[in-house]
C-alpha cells in the first residue's frame, strides 16, 4: 500500500503545495470569502465527479457512491444563496489510471476539508468540508490504488492525472480568489 501512495504523494507534492498556497488565501470565517472558496472547489469537483461517473469509476471503486460530494457542495452553496458555478477546465480522464489519479486528489481534499472545517463558523454550512460519510474511505482507497495501479506506467499516468487535477483546482482557486 505504501509504495503507490508514496509515489503519488511525492510525485504531486509541488502541485499540492501550490493548491494549498492559493486556497490558504481565502478567509473561511468571512461569508463571501467562504462562498468563493466553495465555488472554486465546485467548479472543479462537479465536472470531475461527472467525468469519473461517465468513465466508470464505480466499476473500479465499489464504494464510489459513498465518496461523491456533489450534492453536499450544492447544498452548501444553496444555503449560502449562491448558484453552482460554471464548470472549470479539467483534463479528460481517458484511462483507469487517469481516473484513479484524479480520485486520489478528490479524496485527499476530503481529508484536508475536515481539518479546514474546524476554522469555519458553526453557523456556516459545512457538509462539503465535513461530510457525514463512512470512516475508512482513505485507507480503503490506498489499498485499492495499490491493487489497481500495479505497473510503473499506471502509477506514472495516475501521477500525471493527479497533477492535472491539482492544476485545475489551483486555476479555479486563483480565479475565485480574485473575486473576493
Q: Three-state SS across 18-34?
A: HHHHHHCCCCCCCHHHH
pLDDT at residue number 180: 87
Kindly give the residue spans of alpha helices, DSSP state H, lying in the chain: 2-23, 31-54, 57-60, 64-67, 70-79, 96-117, 137-148, 152-177
- Count of C-beta atoms within a 10 Å radius of residue 123: 7
User: Which residues are CB-contacts of 39 (< 8 A; sequence separation ≥ 6)?
Assistant: 77, 82, 85, 176
pLDDT at residue number 148: 95
Architecture per CATH, domain 2-177, reads as Up-down Bundle (1.20)
pLDDT at residue number 2: 63
User: What average pLDDT values come out for the chain (180 residues) when binned by 10 residues?
Assistant: 86 97 96 98 97 96 93 97 96 96 95 90 94 82 94 96 98 95
Model pTM score: 0.94
For cell 462539503, name the residue: 128
CB 70 within 8 A of CB 78: no
pLDDT at residue number 1: 43
- Count of C-beta atoms within a 10 Å radius of residue 17: 11
pLDDT at residue number 64: 94
Amino acid at each position: 500500500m505504501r509504495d503507490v501512495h508514496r509515489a503519488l504523494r511525492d510525485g504531486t507534492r509541488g502541485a499540492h503545495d501550490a493548491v494549498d498556497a492559493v486556497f490558504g488565501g481565502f478567509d473561511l470565517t468571512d461569508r463571501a470569502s467562504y462562498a468563493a472558496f466553495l465555488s472554486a472547489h465546485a467548479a472543479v469537483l462537479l465536472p470531475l465527479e461527472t467525468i469519473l461517473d461517465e468513465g466508470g469509476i464505480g466499476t473500479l471503486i465499489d464504494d464510489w457512491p459513498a465518496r461523491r460530494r456533489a450534492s453536499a457542495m450544492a447544498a452548501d452553496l444553496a444555503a449560502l444563496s449562491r448558484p453552482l458555478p460554471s464548470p472549470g477546465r479539467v483534463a479528460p480522464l481517458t484511462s483507469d489510471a487517469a481516473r484513479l489519479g484524479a480520485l486520489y486528489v478528490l479524496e485527499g481534499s476530503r481529508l484536508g476539508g475536515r481539518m479546514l472545517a474546524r476554522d469555519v463558523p458553526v453557523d456556516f454550512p459545512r457538509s462539503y468540508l465535513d461530510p457525514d460519510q463512512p470512516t475508512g474511505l482513505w485507507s480503503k482507497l490506498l489499498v485499492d490504488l495499490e491493487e489497481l495501479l500495479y505497473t510503473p506506467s499506471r502509477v506514472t499516468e495516475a501521477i500525471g492525472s493527479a497533477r492535472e487535477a491539482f492544476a485545475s483546482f489551483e486555476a479555479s482557486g486563483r480565479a475565485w480568489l480574485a473575486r473576493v
